[in-house]
Structure 1
Amino acid sequence: MTIEEKNPYTVFGYGSLIFKPPPHTIRQVPGFLKGYVRRFAQKSHDHRGTPENPGRVVTLIHTEDWEAFSSSDPFPDEDVVWGVAYTIDPQYESEVRDYLDYREKDGYTIEEIDVWSFEDGREVVVAPKCYTYVGLPSNPSFIGSQPIESLAERIWQSVGPSGRNKDYLYELSAAVRKLAPESHDSHLYALETRCRKLDAERGHAPAK
């Protein structure tokens, strides 16, 4: 395969990459993955928490892996994850790969996936052989399923170098709603509802 024939470097964002895209993006396409769930099942020691008080951020989990936790998960039947496929300018591929490897260093590994969307009512692949960062259940920062109430409490009170954990949740929820008429995520929205209830009940927010 020649350089001209090489597939462009495309990365799928399903967390903060949706509202904070990678640099040197030349194309972005909303779409979804099949056979995954998105859950706040990953500790954040470096962005939305600290080593002493880690926050919580999202990861992708294969549906079959998540089934081990589904007895305590209120949304076991959702297996589509909406996000954005970003195509990177080939001149900056190496730079962006290094940037993302560092940004996603806290327990994430790379997987190759296909990104789907709808065209004329049909499901079609809009970004084949796309890369994404996944916090596998085997990584040390993976925490599995937690009740919505305790998870929301942790998110609400956690703060890290990148800001308040709850702001990450709020920005992500808002961004997913805007992706497409079909985009949805019950797990995100339930956590957002609970955290906003905590805002109303306590009348203050953790300091940045």
Structure 2
Amino acid sequence: MLETLSRDEDLWVFGYGSLMWRPGFDYVESALAWVHGYHRSLCIFSHVHRGTPERPGLVLGLDRGGCCQGVAFRVAARDRERTVRYLRERELVTAVYLEKTVGVRFAEGSCVNALAYVVDRSHRQYAGRLPIEEMTRLVAEGVGLTGDNPSYVRNTYEHLMQLDIHDADLAEIVRRLDRCSCRTVPAASAGQDI
């Protein structure tokens, strides 16, 4: 994947979930950006960070089709290898994500290639498009090594709103979680996705 990106150039990374608000790596700049051909979706059963294999949570994936607004981060070339190593440790824990180069477009119209982690639809953790009731149930019950699933969803939703990015599914799940008064415990870390 990274062979398509020159080692001498700065690296762009596209975040659409927790990477937007907790990248975990040094970057030179960040900006809102769009990826076409993929959309943000609660489509991954979390078996580690927000659930277990016996009681999976549900986390975001970049799934094919549509368009996704997120944040693109520019990483200095000198930090490239360290950043990629960190991202692989964070995102490829169970190999449910595929490392890809995607084209991202900025508001003023310029485009760059960026590193992104998209869902592997053939992986056993791929949930696909579930009914909203099932998504809410999985989120409400999910707890993993990194913390509870409702905190992850609420935190992501709140950060999306701060960036003026609207996600109807996340908004509805947060509304449903609030209605059922799902109590959450503070997570040790609010970042990991799987």
Q: TM-score, normalised by structure 1?
A: 0.79
- Give the 5 Å matches for 1:1-208: 6-63=8-65, 79-105=66-92, 106=94, 107-119=96-108, 124-126=109-111, 128-180=112-164, 183-199=165-181, 204-205=183-184
Alpha-carbon displacement from aligned partner over 1:65-100 (angstroms, at most 9, x marks no partner): xxxxxxxxxxxxxx2211111111322211111111
Letter in 1 for 2:78: Q
Matched residue SS, 2:49: coil
Amino acid at match of 2:158: A
Q: Cα distance 1:43–1:28, how it changes in 2: closer, same or farther (>3 A)? A: same
Note the C-alpha offset of 1:207. 8.0
Higher-Rg member (1/2): 1
What CA distance in whole angstroms lies between the structure 2 residues aligned with 1:114 and 1:11? 11
**Cα contact 2:10–2:77 (8 A) shared by 1:** yes
Shift of 1:205: 3.7
**What does the per-residue CA deviation read over 1:167-204, in whole Å, with 9 as the maximum and x for residues that have no partner?**
11111111112224xx22112212111111121xx6x3
Alpha-carbon spacing, 1:167–1:109, altered in 2? closer, same or farther (3 Å): same
Distance 2:171 2:103 in 1: 25
Q: Shift of the alpha carbon at 1:116?
A: 1.9
Q: Take 1:13 and 1:5, find their aligned partners in 2: how far apart are those partners?
A: 21
TM-fit CA distance, 1:6: 3.4
Alpha-carbon distance, 1:58 to partner? 0.6
Query: Number of matched residues?
Result: 180
Gaps of 5+ in 1: 64-78
CA contact (8 A) 2:55 2:141 kept: no
Are residues 27 and 187 of structure 1, via their aligned partners in 2, closer, same or farther at CA, if it must alter by over 3 Å?
Answer: same
**Residue type of the partner of 1:84?**
V
When residues 86 and 38 of structure 1 are mapped into structure 2, their CA distance, relative to the original with a 3 A threshold, is same
C-alpha separation between the residues in 2 aligned to 1:198 and 1:207?
Answer: 18
Counterparts in 2 of 1:58 and 1:17: CA distance versus 1, 3 Å: same
CA root-mean-square deviation: 2.0
- Give the secondary-structure state (helix, strand or coil) at the position aligned to 2:13: strand
Deviation at 1:11, TM superposition (A): 0.8
Identity across the alignment (%): 28
Residues of 2 paired with 1:26 and 1:205: CA distance?
34
